[in-house]
Chain A
């Protein structure tokens, strides 16, 4: 018998599949190696493990929430289905011509990434819609039929349809779909007006193509997953985490699999947002650092910042512009090549550079003694005393500090005339500065100042570096939650059912058509709510309205949140006031005398999340007892200092640990700098603040 209180979260990552079970009375988690040939196998295995530990049967599970990098990997590794594009005559090469610019200005040998579809899989038909949605050239249906036959000859399994201005007038795309469907009943279709109804053809076409490209694979995988879970008796509904931080039904996910891209990191952001809400924090920077990358996300008022477009599969050292754009609602994150395995070298200006090249797990950093000879971030952490050579991975692995020192001296020290610890300090400062710079630029792009923010750190390498990052960013409070190793999977269980519907419709505030706005927003609201209702028949559903505004003539819109009352009775003066306030917050002053235009409207429908149990800040109740001391380098003071070592399990609620200190646990070590003090909160979070 299913029990709605029993919920399972499963996150398929590149190396591990994380499974978390919450039973209402306890939580159980496990990590299973990802099984690439049949990813559902690892989930089944993980589910059986946690069920056994919890003493329940899979049949008892009331709900399964799943997130996966499979769609992302298919895009990065180009392992999607044979896919065709049907587009407007004259525009065959939109996804190949991109922005017609180079993302690396000084590299004469720069190579552009190949488009998802080669030119021979891109077909054109005569038709044309104008910028007002009117028809300039009617669709040539005979040509569509003839194109269908040519596509059929290629054996394509999936077809994307992307026509100019279809976000304004979808009639031609729908008609093309109907004709293709008649002639090729088994082929899967992805319409750009449905996948991503937004202006800007490169982004829209590419998103529709990406959807089509991963659809056969994802549809088949999700079908198999449901079957295998049922075979084990888990008959409950399965839902999917989407990149925007909400949950959708398995059927919607199979239809729009591109929305699953980045679902794992989105789970991590939701995890951090939940902790933020629990602690009553309105401004949070989530910091997730693993083996190869670090991800940074801003969380305001308990909700992660979202964006409308992002880039996947960056081909050039994580360089902006070297990937492909996907325009879907997404949690706005910066990802940089900085992780425990990131490798360091000295460049032509005798500067230490770190990443994005990574040692991975094989051979791994030099200290793993598996053949790695170049210094990685983990080597620096070891030499600086942050890691205990004997206590790594719960004591299952011994690290070789001598190998780290040799790697640091050979690759950095000899050129720069530095000893091992100084080279380690340099390496560590550079990687921390890289992450701090990424966080600063991200904050500026969002009009935020990080002073007054709290950091929430998770992922294996984050607690080692979070303290220093806070010092660099002027952040005075840091939380390291328990369960940080499976944060994304826990996040899945905290996310609401949600769906965002969007439409590009131009309007000037000077002649705002209020009736049209009301109609548009209620149509979007119905569309979004219907999706959510499909997941949950009874829950209360709330809607968030946004209008994307800018001064007429600008190129970047600012999302402006509208209240339900504004949506029902739109008023140009109110809109103007809201825009002015947001503009001042971002760019310090408004520009007089200019009209404001709205380019895009969105409605996000979501089930309301149950209120969190607030965590009360505790009074200090004495110091936790230490298990020993060791010398740890303090970068703020450029010197080694004797630090206490405390086991996380030994810290009782309310107890404190004075920096400098290392708080150890199986998966990671939390470094408390000299300038900071830690206290264990009642929910198990280690709360690190600046000493007064």
Chain B
């Protein structure tokens, strides 16, 4: 019985570690300056053993950090050198290949000492406001143009912050106070994690983390392998094509389910793009793992052992394995489509589990606003970045989610907060009817947005949109979602990606894509069609022509809607 009771203690410690990293992430959200961290949740936090193996990771808005974070600490140990790690040290980098995929993500790692001995590490990552260079966007031709690059190095040595490093950072970025504030916020949140870990080790009288690490890894590995063992041992291939920047990109995925692992290979995927939408391998691997975990072992917490059975490979210099010095600032665009590509293959092995394709990448854009003629006194430039979502793909048993991100989990900002962030006006932000792909289960609706600058200002819009030419495909007879559109209010066409000027007084109208449908529209329950019609998710035309709803039913549904009834 004594052994079993210590098993209870180990479970309690595992719970505690997961709680510790959640606390660590909360502390970062509360103190960060970067809107993408504090408003959108673009961050991650984790705890590692002394060998750099990830023990627990906070569940945040960024599955893209899953594996990238898991691998990062090993890079730090190697670069800093085991003999050079001291109590009070803090390390950092924004290396896209050894961190989390682009220069805008800073990863900070802190060794954790307990009673004088190195017992583990804490790491966290945040998307910062600015790193200099061209600014956040797709337009760079190499990583050198994308901003300041900090290789893995010491931010603090035995408690002393490197002022030379801070001086260089300050001198190279547009908003130095905020960036330095974010670096401190990252260091602080690791410190909070470290304190909790030490308290736990005192409480359970632990000298090191070996036993708890073994317990976590054994249980996680077994749970993951049990799930994999239950799958049919088969291989399947899938592919999908998206807009890209210079030319369309095709992602090819081959999945191979083996007894004790799943191998994902991207052989045949398109090569690099000339502009900054290339994806370092760590980031693509993270999203491939995330997609598989959601479908196969969603409840197993992320750690070194639960991620290990998912093996990902990709040929060098294809777009999901971009090497230095490829431009990678918007690596999220390709990364966010990786799950849809993986699901194209997985659906053939594991039917009735994965969704149809969805909007995929976030529908982000940045407005660079500057004073024009008639600008008010003291008018200044401003950069306003917004995060928005199209519709997610329909699922085998339920509709897709309206205007909700997948696979990313980041949040949008309130319109009122965005309008306080700079002299911009969001004229419209609402659901886009008829954009969800028809099906037995309908794709989620995309959304309309219309934006402009305040009187006296002029702006450029840096678009980060895809699915203009390649809408989300339906699955098993479901129809495609509606594609992205973008144009000025006078009808002038615009591109889905890149920085584009808007004339004084002009607005940009965008329609973000809907998710694909699942199953044939004729199989959709008539009640759902009537409900969609009453809510205005679909038009009477769609109800009649796509779903075959009778004229009487259409009339009845519209009459019910006019009476305010939810049919």
A residues whose Cβ falls under 8 Å from a Cβ of B: 82, 84, 90-94, 96-102, 105-112, 118-121, 128, 130-131, 136, 150-151, 153-156, 164-165, 199-203, 347-352, 416-419, 422, 425-426, 429-430, 433-434, 437, 440-441, 444-445, 472, 474, 506, 551, 553-556, 586-589, 591, 593-594, 638
Per the 8 Å Cβ criterion, residues 331-369 of B in contact with A are 353-355
A101–B404 contact, CB under 8 A? yes
Partner of B27, one of A82, A164, A474, A587: A587
Alpha-carbon gap, A202 to B414, bound state (A): 7
Alpha-carbon gap, A584 to B23, bound state (A): 18
Give the chain B neighbours of A164 by CB distance below 8 A: 415-416
Alpha-carbon gap, A101 to B36, bound state (A): 13
Closest Cβ–Cβ distance, residue A171 to chain B (whole Å): 17
What are 21 of the A-B contact pairs (CB < 8 Å)? A93-B402, A101-B411, A105-B59, A108-B294, A131-B419, A151-B564, A203-B414, A348-B300, A352-B8, A422-B1, A422-B5, A437-B16, A444-B23, A444-B27, A474-B199, A553-B129, A553-B178, A586-B30, A588-B188, A594-B177, A638-B2
Partner of B414, one of A201, A430, A556: A201
Closest Cβ–Cβ distance, residue B307 to chain A (whole Å): 13
A638–B5 contact, CB under 8 A? yes
Nearest B-chain residue to A638, judged by Cβ = B5
Per the 8 Å Cβ criterion, residues 401-434 of B in contact with A are 401-406, 409-412, 414-417, 419-420, 425, 427-431
Alpha-carbon gap, A445 to B35, bound state (A): 19
B136-144, B279-287, B315-323, B533-541: which one contacts chain A? B533-541
B5–A109 contact, CB under 8 A? no
Closest Cβ–Cβ distance, residue A199 to chain B (whole Å): 5
Nearest B-chain residue to A451, judged by Cβ = B199
Alpha-carbon gap, A444 to B14, bound state (A): 19
B398–A100 contact, CB under 8 A? no
Closest Cβ–Cβ distance, residue B104 to chain A (whole Å): 16
B38–A556 contact, CB under 8 A? yes
B226–A82 contact, CB under 8 A? no
A100–B388 contact, CB under 8 A? yes
Q: Taking the complex as formed, is B11 at the interface, i.e. its CB lies under 8 A from any CB of chain A? A: yes
Closest Cβ–Cβ distance, residue A456 to chain B (whole Å): 23
B1–A106 contact, CB under 8 A? no
Partner of A119, one of B39, B191, B537: B537
With A101-B61, A588-B188 as contacts: A554 and B4 at CB distance below 8 Å: no
With A82-B564, A97-B447, A351-B219 as contacts: A426 and B11 at CB distance below 8 Å: yes
Alpha-carbon gap, A398 to B246, bound state (A): 76
Alpha-carbon gap, A591 to B431, bound state (A): 40
Question: Other than the known A82-B564, A94-B429, what 17 A-B pairs have Cβ atoms closer than 8 Å?
Answer: A97-B402, A97-B404, A99-B412, A100-B389, A108-B355, A111-B398, A118-B534, A348-B227, A348-B299, A348-B300, A416-B7, A430-B8, A440-B19, A444-B27, A506-B420, A553-B177, A638-B5
Partner of A101, one of B175, B405, B419: B405
Main secondary structure of the interface of A (DSSP, over half): loop
Closest Cβ–Cβ distance, residue B88 to chain A (whole Å): 14
Give the chain A neighbours of B23 by CB distance below 8 A: 440-441, 444
Give the chain B neighbours of A106 by CB distance below 8 A: 59, 293-294, 298-299
Q: Taking the complex as formed, is B210 at the interface, i.e. its CB lies under 8 A from any CB of chain A? A: no
With A119-B535, A587-B31 as contacts: A419 and B403 at CB distance below 8 Å: no
B5–A120 contact, CB under 8 A? no
Alpha-carbon gap, A591 to B401, bound state (A): 40
Give the chain B neighbours of A131 by CB distance below 8 A: 416, 419-420
Nearest B-chain residue to A595, judged by Cβ = B177
A101–B16 contact, CB under 8 A? no
With A349-B219, A425-B8 as contacts: A120 and B429 at CB distance below 8 Å: no
With A109-B398, A153-B563 as contacts: A556 and B536 at CB distance below 8 Å: no
A108–B33 contact, CB under 8 A? no
With A101-B409, A102-B405, A444-B27 as contacts: A96 and B431 at CB distance below 8 Å: yes
With A102-B405, A349-B220, A351-B11 as contacts: A587 and B563 at CB distance below 8 Å: no
Partner of B12, one of A119, A150, A430, A553: A430
Alpha-carbon gap, A350 to B299, bound state (A): 12
Give the chain A neighbours of B235 by CB distance below 8 A: none
B residues whose Cβ falls under 8 Å from a Cβ of A: 1-2, 4-5, 7-9, 11-12, 14-16, 19, 22-23, 26-27, 29-33, 35, 38-39, 41, 59, 61, 63, 129, 175, 177-178, 180-181, 184-185, 188, 191-192, 196, 199, 203, 219-220, 222-223, 226-227, 293-295, 297-301, 353-355, 387-389, 395, 397-398, 401-406, 409-412, 414-417, 419-420, 425, 427-431, 447, 450, 454, 534-537, 561-566
Give the chain A neighbours of B537 by CB distance below 8 A: 119
With A165-B416, A445-B30 as contacts: A99 and B15 at CB distance below 8 Å: no
A91–B428 contact, CB under 8 A? yes
Nearest A-chain residue to B2, judged by Cβ = A638
Alpha-carbon gap, A425 to B401, bound state (A): 41
Give the chain A neighbours of B395 by CB distance below 8 A: 108-109
With A120-B564, A593-B177 as contacts: A93 and B430 at CB distance below 8 Å: yes
Alpha-carbon gap, A199 to B35, bound state (A): 16
Give the chain A neighbours of B354 by CB distance below 8 A: 108
Give the chain B neighbours of A150 by CB distance below 8 A: 562
Alpha-carbon gap, A425 to B3, bound state (A): 13
B39–A551 contact, CB under 8 A? no
Closest Cβ–Cβ distance, residue A205 to chain B (whole Å): 10
A101–B412 contact, CB under 8 A? yes
Give the chain B neighbours of A638 by CB distance below 8 A: 2, 5
Alpha-carbon gap, A150 to B563, bound state (A): 9
Alpha-carbon gap, A120 to B566, bound state (A): 8
Alpha-carbon gap, A203 to B35, bound state (A): 19
With A93-B430, A154-B563 as contacts: A120 and B535 at CB distance below 8 Å: yes
Closest Cβ–Cβ distance, residue A63 to chain B (whole Å): 41
Partner of B184, one of A202, A440, A589: A589
Alpha-carbon gap, A110 to B479, bound state (A): 21
With A84-B564, A107-B298, A131-B419 as contacts: A556 and B30 at CB distance below 8 Å: yes
Give the chain A neighbours of B199 by CB distance below 8 A: 474
Give the chain A neighbours of B177 by CB distance below 8 A: 553, 591, 593-594
B563–A112 contact, CB under 8 A? no
Give the chain B neighbours of A445 by CB distance below 8 A: 26, 30
Partner of A347, one of B1, B299, B564: B299
Nearest B-chain residue to A106, judged by Cβ = B298
With A97-B447, A118-B535, A587-B31 as contacts: A433 and B564 at CB distance below 8 Å: no
Closest Cβ–Cβ distance, residue A581 to chain B (whole Å): 16
Give the chain A neighbours of B192 by CB distance below 8 A: 444
Alpha-carbon gap, A202 to B418, bound state (A): 13
A433–B15 contact, CB under 8 A? yes
A91–B26 contact, CB under 8 A? no
* Chain B CB within 10 A, most for which of A91, A100, A556: A100
B403–A100 contact, CB under 8 A? yes
Partner of A90, one of B398, B402, B427, B563: B427
A156–B564 contact, CB under 8 A? yes
Nearest A-chain residue to B428, judged by Cβ = A90
Alpha-carbon gap, A165 to B8, bound state (A): 53
With A112-B401, A165-B416, A348-B223 as contacts: A418 and B33 at CB distance below 8 Å: no
Closest Cβ–Cβ distance, residue A426 to chain B (whole Å): 4
With A165-B416, A351-B219, A352-B11 as contacts: A154 and B180 at CB distance below 8 Å: no
A100–B22 contact, CB under 8 A? no
Closest Cβ–Cβ distance, residue B166 to chain A (whole Å): 11
